[in-house]
Amino acid sequence: MSSLTKAKADGIAALEQAVINDTPAEVAKLYQKLGKGVFTAHILGIAGRFRGLDMVKVLVENGASFHQDMEAVRALFPQIFENELATYLPDFFILFLIKNIHITGDYIWKRYIEKLADRKGNPLKPVCEEELIQVVEYLCDNAEKVCFRPGDFLYFAILTDDKNMTAALKGKGVTISDEKQKMLTEGGGGNAWFAYCSLIEHLRDENFIRVMSALISELGREQSTIDSLEASKDKKLHYTDWLCHVNHNRFFSPEYLGFFLDHFNQSKMNKKRLMQEMIFYENVACLEIVAQYGWLKLPRKRDEMIEYAAQNGKMESTAWLLDYKNRTADLAAEAEKAEKKLMRELNASPNSVAELRKIWSYKKREDGTLIITNYKGRNEKVIVPEKIGKSIVSAIEIGAFAGNAVCVGDYHSAGGLKHIQQHRRITNITLPRTIRQIRSYAFSQMWALKEINIPEGVSEISECAFWDCRSLKNITIPGTVRKIGKKAFFGCMELEKVCVCEGVLEIEEHAFNACDKLREIRMPKSVQRLLSDQSERLSAEVFPYNQKLFIYCPKGSKTETYCREKHFRIKNSDNEIV
């Protein structure tokens, strides 16, 4: 049972049953007999929900807390780790104290507590609301001692529409934790974000605006500052496509759309795709709302929507869009502007900024250089420009050439599915001498890529930069590269030869692993580290282990030591088999 001994597991089970069935005095006696080191997070949650304040006090006074021992959780509750959304919560068992736990949907903790029963098989009944609030207030007063996070609990109380608990916590001066506020306004949080989206999804329609308004009012709130209350009004909730997906019916309802646009970050919304969906379902009421928020202000965007509606035979949307154009557009000014643009393009040279923008997406860095964010062209042999306008191209961004939408993130903003498919057809890439950085997943899953140069001057090849480039045959790493990131060339199945030049200092785990046809790697003496500091497992190899691979390395080098420890085949600088 993992690192949890049978004796400890039996003791935990006995304590859980005592909390469910016995008196606080009997529980105290058993706890003292078991001694310290008992995992109690779930037991403390059960006590708070079903037995009340006296039982919680006895447990806390004897050392119980919500501290998470993940090895114990894995051993005692393997079903938790079968649920993707359940694994994110460090305060997993604190949710037992949520009054409206049914709002959390089908989460594993809800199903777990519903199965709890006393020794006679009777299902457990929660304590009254007043006592549950007393339990939470007591835990707030002993928060550090019992590893209880009042700010996180307030977040859940608001989202599960527990008005009385929310009022009690705010009465004690509790505010939503910085971690949760950052997730709400900036995103991130991994599975915590998906659980948040699901909690919103399970809100009743009639409560949605009230609950979300209560959550928004807490952003930036501090007990002692009035200014922070004003600042919270300007904070926008983070938006993702997934949040829209699970709240689809609300987002595309005129009753709620204005609320989303007022309180969620519109810059993260794919306005084109959202309007196309409104047009496709003839949702003219929502088109009217987004028009009020300026989504159709640009003539190009407006005309693009008119064309989409007409091509798809959406007559009601087409009529409304044409009427909107007639009511709002300065047609003479638009015609003059379009003519000037056409003349500029006709007179532009092939290397002009206007022409390059049709092929490349990029953004300016703090040092004034450019980073390529996406290739939008159709060529199978690509030459990355040294300059765009007067600015030097110095880096390749995350997923800029990736053949996988997951690596790019929101592929709608990265140029669309058609660009990602085109990336997979590219066979050759020439990088300019100005490139200094190749970021994570920059060229990942470019399945047809056979040749690419890494220029002198590149200082780092980041994690998974060439992951799964399954047609790449040879690669030379210049000496200016200081680090080759984790899984940088992982899965390059056709890779046969690798030359790492003198100057490279660090190669992280799995950098060249899963390269089944790799026959030759030339390593310099300069390499000082071949695995991350945290990695001690044999599975975290730098190179693939096969009988045909030879690693050329200088005598006495770090590489030679590593290869001997791992039993790789070595050749020294004189081409002699060692």
pLDDT, tens only, 126-165: 999 999 999 999 999 999 999 999 999 999 999 999 999 9
pTM above threshold 0.85: no
Alpha carbon separation from 160 to 104, 202, 260, 392 (Å, rounded)? 8, 9, 19, 52
Strand 391-396 relative to strand 387-388, pairing: antiparallel
Compute the distance between CA of residue 330 and CA of residue 332 in angstroms, rounded to an integer. Answer: 6
> Can you tell me the mean pLDDT for 80-104?
65
Q: Which of 214-223, 480-489, 509-518 is predicted with the least confidence, judged by mean pLDDT?
A: 214-223
What is the per-residue pLDDT for 419? 78
Helix (H, G, I), strand (E, B) or coil at 545: coil
What is the per-residue pLDDT for 395? 96
CB 73 within 8 A of CB 45: no
pLDDT in tens, 338-366: 666 655 554 556 567 877 888 899 999 99
pLDDT at 536 over 70: no
Mean pLDDT of all residues belonging to the chain:
85
pLDDT at 515 over 80: yes
What is the per-residue pLDDT for 98? 86
How many CB atoms neighbour CB 342 within 10 A? 10
Q: Which of 90-99, 141-150, 449-458, 511-520 is predicted with the least confidence, judged by mean pLDDT?
A: 90-99
* Main-chain dihedrals φ then ψ at residue 116, nearest 5 degrees: -70, 140
What is the per-residue pLDDT for 556? 85
The amino acid present at 40, given as its one-letter code, is: T
84: confidence class by pLDDT, cuts 50, 70, 90: very low
What is the rounded end-to-end Cα distance, in angstroms, of the chain? Answer: 44
pLDDT at 7 over 60: yes
Domains and CATH numbers, the chain: 6-171 (no CATH), 270-345 (no CATH), 353-571 (3.80.10.10)
Compute the distance between CA of residue 289 and CA of residue 301 in angstroms, rounded to an integer. Answer: 16
231: confidence class by pLDDT, cuts 50, 70, 90: very low
Compute the distance between CA of residue 123 and CA of residue 93 in angstroms, rounded to an integer. Answer: 19
> Can you tell me the mean pLDDT for 80-89?
49
Q: How far out from the chain centre does Cα 194 lie?
A: 10
Q: Which of 253-257, 388-392, 466-470, 531-535 is predicted with the least confidence, judged by mean pLDDT?
A: 531-535
The full 3-state SS of 268-303, as one line of letters, equals HCCHHHHHHHHHHCCCHHHHHHHHHCCCCCCHHHHH
What is the per-residue pLDDT for 390? 87
pLDDT in tens, 279-306: 999 999 999 999 999 999 998 899 999 9
> For 202, how many CA atoms within 13 A lie in the half-sphere containing its CB?
18
What is the per-residue pLDDT for 244? 93
Q: Which of 29-43, 352-366, 397-411 is predicted with the least confidence, judged by mean pLDDT?
A: 397-411
Residues 6+ apart with CB under 8 A from 395: 365, 369, 370, 371, 372, 435, 436, 437, 438, 439
